[in-house]
Structure formats: C-alpha cells, structure tokens
A and B are shown apart, each in its own frame.
Chain A
C-alpha cells in the first residue's frame, strides 16, 4: 500500500508519464521525450529514496561502528557501497541517502532506537531534487549566489546555501548533475520556482528513471 507522499507530489501528478511505487511512494519515472530534456536542462523528484540523518559529537564514530565509511572532512560526501550517498553536513551532522539498491538508511533508522550518548537521530523528510543537463549553470546563476565553478568535483563538495531563498544542501555529482535537498515544507515553493525558470531556459520536468 502506497502511503508515503513526496513533498513535490502535487506538482507532478498532473504530468502524464510513467509512475511507479518506490519505497511506498508514487514516483514519476519517465515522461515522453524527457531524454532530450534531460540532456539540456531537467528537474526530477527523487524524494522517494530513503534517507536517514544523524548528528552529535558521537555520530561519526557511531556510523563507523555500523560499517559505514564517513567523509573525513566537513561539507564533503562519499558514495555508499551499493550507490547512495553519505554527506557530512558540517562537523558532526550526516545525511545518508540510499540508492534503489541499498538500505543503509532503513537499517540505521532501526538501529537508532538505542543509540549511544551524543548521537541524535534526525528525521529526514526532505524534498529531494536532481537537476540534470548542460544548462545547469544558467539555472544556478539565476537562483543561487554560490560560485559553483570554483569547486572541484573531485573534492566531493557539499554546499549548504540558499536557492531562491530556500535553505538547501547541494551536491554537484557531475557537471551535468546536481542533487538538491531541502526541508519538505519548502519543497513546493522550491520546485515551482525552479521548474518555472527551467522552463524559461528551455528545459522541463523529467522522470527519475534515467537519473538513478
């Protein structure tokens, strides 16, 4: 039974495309013609991926004790073994997001029923977005004051900043693929604003299929 609803669901449900239940959430997987769109500038919803957050002085050690290799520097990220991401948000906070093939977040959520001192689980209910395409810089130039080109992707940067006035976490996975997370209650505004500018720039909404 599908129970989870994405913060971006209302913006997507009117689009005709292929939907699938992923992790109990109805998810837009493809839209006719979105291959070309994705190459130029696309925006897709990945909120269906499972996520876990933890913070506190003991968080890094606790994650390592759960066989997770944590990023050793603040504001960087690493890939999880079966895909997915572990991002270090500042000194002592972490975001773990599974791929379709991993389940770290769920396992950690279960494990955190009994956590050691100074480990504080963080419920993550993000609106999770991916931008794709070669025109991402044009979109970001209109919406964010960060100079993304100054980052080396080899350093695996995690950027905590504002986009269209909304606090976001951004990971440039590749020059043509940026992941964005924000508080789900800002999701509708962020999505609508970005999607409008994406459309002005000749892009559009794409399904998640070709991006995961």
Chain B
C-alpha cells in the first residue's frame, strides 16, 4: 500500500521498523511510526482526505502544517483530529467529518450545483426573513457541524501547569535556535517551544540540494540538546500572548501557563496559496508541504509536477522534487525574469520555465481525486491572465510557491506595531513592545544565513533586556528577492478559484462584498466570513487583504489587518476547562453532620447541612420535624459559617460606632447588641451581633456570605482611619453552635458550672466560660425564637463540644437541625435575612430596621444618605403576610409578585409553611400605602394564578417574647 513511499531519506521522521495498521473510512491502511495520518494516507495513494465545509468538494493535503482544516477527522470519540499533524497511532479508526455517505461519495457534494444561489453573505441574507428563519436554521443545522459527539466520552480533567523562564523562544527553526543559544550562553534560563514533533524547522526540509542547511541545523540542535540552560518543548504551541509575558503553551496533555521575562517570536511564516480555478483539488499543494512530505515522511508527493513559483523557495522545491524522482513538467513563474541563482541553475537543466505566466486552472482527473493537467497562460503587467495563449500541461500535481504571511499573531497580541514592507510584500514588526523580540521569517528575514544572524541579533537584544551583556549592533542583509508575490491571484469566469479553503470563499465573493458596501477589512471579514474558519485565516487573510486593497485602490498597508486575539489556534475544550479548582469550606463539624445523614447544600462556598434525612420521610417532613424539635424540646445547629471577628484597642468602640448603624460605646461588658451595617448609599449590607468582652475588646459576627468582604472592608477602613484598634478575623478559627429550645438551658447546665439563670445570664448577655474544660464564649440569643445559646469555641474543640452537647441532650430528645429549619424558625419569628429579605437597594427604613439605626450619632457609614432618604417617602416596606389556614393548592414562592388593581405592588421575599401556626406565612415588600395590617393582598403565582393573603404584624410566633422569660426576667433592652 505504500506506493508513494520513497527510499530511506537521511533525517526522515518515520521509523520503518514499526509499521502501523489503521483504517480510514473503513479501508485498512499501513503507515509507519512517525507518520502523520495525512502522510500515511498520501503514501498509500489516498488523496481525498476530507470534504470542504460548504460545497463538500474533495480536499487533500494543502499545508501539512497544522492548518489543513479540510482534512479534520474523527478518531473514535476524538473529534476534529488534524490529519496533517496528528501522529499515526496503532489501530486508529478514522473517518472524515462533514460527509454524507463517506468521503469518496459524499452526497452533499451536490450542493455545489446550487453554488450560484449561495452568494457571499448568504447567512445574513437568509436570516433576514423572520418567516424563513426556522427553515434555514433547520437546514443549516442539519448540513453543518464538524464531527459526531459521543456523549459517553469520559470527562478528562486535564491538569494545568505553571512554568517560568527568563526567555521564551517561540519557534525552533534556525533563527529561533540561534536566538536561544545566544541568550542561554549568557546564563539565561531559556525555553524553546515548537508545535512540530521535532525541532529544526525549515532547516530540515527547505534544502534545494544544499546539504549544509541540514548540517548547520543539526549543529544548532546538538548545542541546544547539551545546553544546561535550555529546555526544548516540541509538539507544544504558544497559542496566545497575554500581558506581562504570560503565554499559554498547549501540548497534547495540558495547558501550561508560562511566565516569561522576555519573549522572542521566531514563529516563521505561513505559506500562502495561489488563487486560480480548482486550486483546491487534491494534488494542488504548497511547496513547503511538498518538502515536508519528502524529507520528514519520505513520501513522493506526485509523479509529474507543474510548479508555480514567485520566489527562490519555489526553485529550491523544484530541485528537491527532481532529486527525489519527481518529473517537472513545467515551472511557471509569475515574474518575468529569473531573479535568483537557484532559478538560473534550473534553466540550464532544460526544465521548461514559463516566465510571466500563471496557472489559469487545474483540471481534475476522471476520478476527481486528483488532477490531470494544469492550464497555464501569460499574465499582463497587472496580473490579468491572457487567456488567448493558454497551454495545457499534463501533470498529477501542482506545487505552489508564491509567498508567505508572517505568523505574527503573538506579536500582534503583544501590542507590536507592524508595517507593510513593499519590497518584501509582507507585514514586519515596526515597533516591538518592551521585552518582546522577533527574528526570522516573521521579521522579514528569509535567507538561511541571514536567519542565523537575525536569531543571534534578537537573542543578544533579549539578553541585554534581561541584564545579561551589552546591546550589540548586528546588521542583517536585505533579501535579494521578494519572498512574496503581490498578486498571485487569477480571475476565472467559472470561479472555484478559492481564497478561503475553510469557508469555500471564491475570488468573486470579495468584489461582490465590496460592492455591497463591506469595503473595510473588519467588515469584509465578518460579511464574507473570510478567516473565521478553523484555520483562522492563516491561508486566506493575506490574499483577502490584497484583493480588498486592489479593489479599493489602497496598499495592503493602508488596508491593514484584522485584530488577532488569543487563542490564535483552536484549543481543545478539555485543555481550557482542565482540572477545576473551586475551593469549598467545611466547618469542623462536617463529619458529624455526615454521620447524622445530613443533606448538604452550598451556602456561598460553605457546605452546610440543609436538613438531616430520616428514613421514610420526605425532605419537607424532615425539616418540619427539626423545627418542631426546637419549638418543643431542644435543637442544635452548626452556625460556624458566621463571620466571627474580634476587635481590640482603645478605639475599638469608636471603630464599631463608625462602621455599624447602632450605638456600642455605651454597651456594658457582658452584653450583646444587634448590629446593622450599611454602605455609603444607606443600603443594608450586613448584620450580626456585637458582644462586649472587655472595656477595649469586642467580639462580633457577620452573615456567612459577608465575612470575607466585610473583613476586607474593615481592614481598609482601619488602615484609612488609623484608629487605635486591631481586627482579627476568627471566622475559620472559631466554630459556633446554636443550642435552642425549651430545654437548652437544661442541656447546657449539665456541662458547665456557669450560672445560667436569667438573672445571672439574661437574654442578650455574653459570657466567657468553660464547658467540660473547653473554653467557650456563650451568647444568649433568640434568632429562632427560643431560649438559646450561641456557643463559640476554638475550631479544634468543636467536635468534642458537639459530642458533649448531643450526649447531654439525649434525655431531652435533642435533634440537630439544618439551614432550612432555621430559616423557617426565624421566619416564624419575623427575623429577616440580609440578602434574602433585602436586596442591593433596600434601606433600613424600608426593611423595618429603623430601630437599629442611631441617627443622632456623630457619624456612621451610610448616615448621610439615610438623612437624605429620610426626607423622602419610602417606596416599599417589609410586611408579614399569612395565607388562610385552610388554604389548599400551590403556595406562593419567593419573588412572586403582589398585585393590586392589575399593578405590581410588591414581591414576596420569604415564604414557608409554619408547623407552629399551621398555615403559610411570609415576608414581602409592599407599597407603604397598601401595607395596612389586616388588609387582604393578592399574590400572583408563576402560572398566573392569584392567591389571597392577609397582611399580618410580625413576629408571627411569640410576639411578646415569652419564650425568653422565666419566673424572673431581666431583659437587656436594645435602646435606639
């Protein structure tokens, strides 16, 4: 099957001792280790490797350089495998994508018959009609798409990696290697990356019968291999440039985030195709691809070639073809004179050379899997074909060597200003950003020796930038001939002269687009979709730009290029997604909850027990039972996620006075007080409890979600105000447990000597105590509406304390309760939750929290705004509501709207069924004029149904606070 395999070639990449079997489209093939899929198929005579995106035309090898998007294949579960660069693997089962009935007999190729009805901007025109939109959408969705997703494909969590170096050299061609060595020799830590399987670049294949190129390249590689300061990563692509030398490197296994102090772009250039009729047929190949086929994979690209040239590279290719047994039927030079020595040497070998000619069209062979002839003709001074002088030359391959486009994507992304060099017919760097350097073809240097010198020049400049050695002036000789032709484009009345192979754009599409007004390169790109395919314009942007320039009478430099954004080459989603790092916090009691069958939920980044599952009971039943346990016996809940802080110092009280809306200076030691935090606009942003532990020492809590941002803000304010106090964040260091219910005191009294009587330890008091030897801070709180203690303890003792409390509570049927039961209990008590019953615009005036705001203080954050707001009528007020006890049906949910006279007059913020009250209760915002206690209200459900409710005062449960009293009650009033 290896009918095109050449005899062994020095330096070939294939290992002939390791044949590899694989199938393509159901047919068995054999290649060698080291082959790519495309080289192995080409060696076996298989020339149709895929179908084009729009017209489903047969396509073969074009670049063999990672840009052949018409030969994307499916390999088992792997989608869009790039056949031109993907190494052959034993047992591969390959198929072409985007075909209907296989690559050889693709039925969708009939679309080409309708090409006159598929003008440029077809999508825009088709979708312009709303009526026809669904039809077009269905049709296009059915016809397009690359590959078949197998949803059973395992989820691969590709690891990411960070890496660092002094200098990153992108491209391991001769200029890149030369640059790397010159910097590493001065002591820098250098990394070279190259997307190819082996380093050396064109030094190993653009030979033109000049073996010194290989020898010199190998010399460089030997030096690199043995250099202690150089790391060489092959099959690795630098796929973008971000600020501060941040380069994502992509290899088969992962994405590496490389941070480089300096970067040398030695990316080279993309060879550009000529535009002529049928320039997409299998067998029409770029000259560098031909050379890669020969020298890397020992594959004879064709037997009889017509070579279209416009530079010295083309003539070197001719020499390489001849020396590897390919008959040269003709050399067709777009220029009208032989410019280089290598060209003149060919002239002496009786190779027919047609100067000032173009390839007018390629003719397909009968099987349409290759070509049978090239039609050539002279061109006039403007590049127009003189069709009266056509000649047909039989051949089975057409090689194109007409020019290059710099692989300058990274340079653009780094902020390089490029200029168009008319002599080179190429954009070259004009102003490079600091720390970024360029050499080789991307810098407009093409001749082998000059690339070596240019590499060294850029290396020394980079070294000087890194502080290694002096900046030395190195002179680069100008190119002897232009490597690129300004107009390798031939019009043809029958079209199919492709400019963009990804999107099947023909020459005529561009004048048509310009005629329709899209005469700017960015507009032209979007309208025609040139450069928007998978190869991202690497083979089409330059020709498109030249066409636009010619039509609009501008120079390519005046037309300019489109914006290059990272990534400039497609990146597997698995690499982008990679292994995710999403930190979560667990309280010290997590395993205790798990042992009690807790169902966890995320509260911010905390994992908290939502409820504790019980065998045979639903979620709602479990929650109700937990709530009832608190109401009738005793419950215990982990509230360790609350923000917990300590502030000490002579100005501690002053600091709290400024950041909270209440008054704390007059608090007695041993007391707690509700604390409300506002932002500068007077909006309620957090709340908690402040406990005074000493004259200059306070302990205070925040909401769970508020802990981190509030600590950050308090630290900022403390730095700004320079008060004599220090804040310590104890959120993670302390655990907190709330023991609540009728028997809470009984349980606790079994474990501590502290006097728990309401005289000695009244409601809203705080005490430092010991529970079975464990130091704790105890606060008498009533968030859930029962006699309760919030017990704060060092995190490492939390499990021991939890165990003690559960054991002591056994005789009282103690039951752990989760977040949902707590929400229900606090709702019964009418306590709001910041963030649920308030939003980003809610002031304390609207939320019924005016009592917690001390407006006569000299200053607190938000005070000034509240003073302004207080003069205006409020737009909403928080109310309680109840549904009828006999209500049956779907109850309202949070965010359902309150309706009056067909107008929205409010919204529900909390709602739940209260087991204690045997009815649904809730909180909602209402227009103040409609918020009369006892008035009926209407709530509209999601399905439009209206549910009636009654506005009710809060608390719903224990409005007289009887649960906090015993025979003798001493209540610590919060005065505001």
Contact = CB atoms under 8 A, between A and B. Distances in A.
A111 interface: no
Contacts of B591: 9-10
Interface residues on A, range: 35 or more
Contacts of A5: 588, 796-800
Contact of B732 (A4, A9, A25, A125): A125
A150 B164 CA distance: 9
B726 A183 contact: no
B800 A117 contact: no
Interface in B248-267: 257, 259
**Most A-side CB within 10 Å, residue of B731, B732, B796:** B796
Nearest to B256: A141
B583 A117 contact: no
B796 A141 contact: no
Contact of B728 (A120, A144, A150, A185): A120
Given A10-B591, A147-B259, A118 B774 contact: no
Contacts of A6: 796
B796 A164 contact: no
Which of B582, B732, B733, B734 has most chain A Cβ within 10 Å?
Answer: B732
B162 interface: yes
A117 B649 contact: yes
B960 interface: no
B556 to A, nearest CB: 41
B364 to A, nearest CB: 52
Contacts of A7: 588, 795-796
By secondary structure, the A interface counts as mixed
Interface string A107-143: 0000000000110111111000000000000001111
B590 A188 contact: yes
A145 B513 CA distance: 47
B795 A184 contact: yes
A55 B795 contact: no
A18 interface: no
B966 interface: no
Contact of A184 (B161, B162, B164, B588): B588
Given A121-B728, A186-B583, 9 more contacts: A3-B773, A6-B796, A7-B588, A118-B649, A142-B162, A144-B162, A147-B259, A150-B164, A184-B588
Given A117-B650, A185-B732, A186-B732, A141 B585 contact: no
A56 interface: yes
B726 A120 contact: yes
B648 interface: yes
A123 B799 contact: no
A150 B650 CA distance: 43
21 contacts: A3-B796, A4-B797, A5-B797, A5-B798, A5-B799, A9-B591, A56-B726, A118-B649, A120-B726, A120-B728, A123-B728, A123-B733, A125-B795, A166-B583, A183-B585, A185-B586, A185-B587, A185-B588, A185-B606, A186-B732, A200-B159
Contacts of A173: none
Contacts of B590: 10, 188
A118 B797 CA distance: 28
Interface size class of B (residues with CB under 8 A): 35 or more
B584 interface: yes
B724 interface: yes
Contacts of A124: 733
A8 to B, nearest CB: 11
Interface in B532-582: 579, 581-582
B712 to A, nearest CB: 12
A140 B159 CA distance: 12
B92 interface: no
Nearest to A6: B796
A68 interface: no
Interface in B130-175: 159-164
B583 A189 contact: yes
B776 to A, nearest CB: 13
Given A125-B794, A185-B795, A165 B582 contact: yes
B214 interface: no
B833 interface: no
B730 interface: yes
B733 A184 contact: yes
A138 to B, nearest CB: 9
A121 B729 CA distance: 11
B583 A165 contact: yes
B737 to A, nearest CB: 14
Interface string A2-41: 0111110110000000000000010000000000000000
A141 to B, nearest CB: 5
Contacts of A118: 649, 724, 726
Contacts of B728: 55, 120-123
B794 A3 contact: no
A145 B795 contact: no
A199 interface: no
Given A141-B161, A184-B795, A189 B586 contact: yes
A149 B164 CA distance: 9
Interface string A195-207: 0010010000000
Interface string A46-72: 010000000110000000000000000
Contacts of B798: 5
B581 A183 contact: no
Interface string B291-304: 00000000000000
Contacts of B795: 7, 125, 184-185
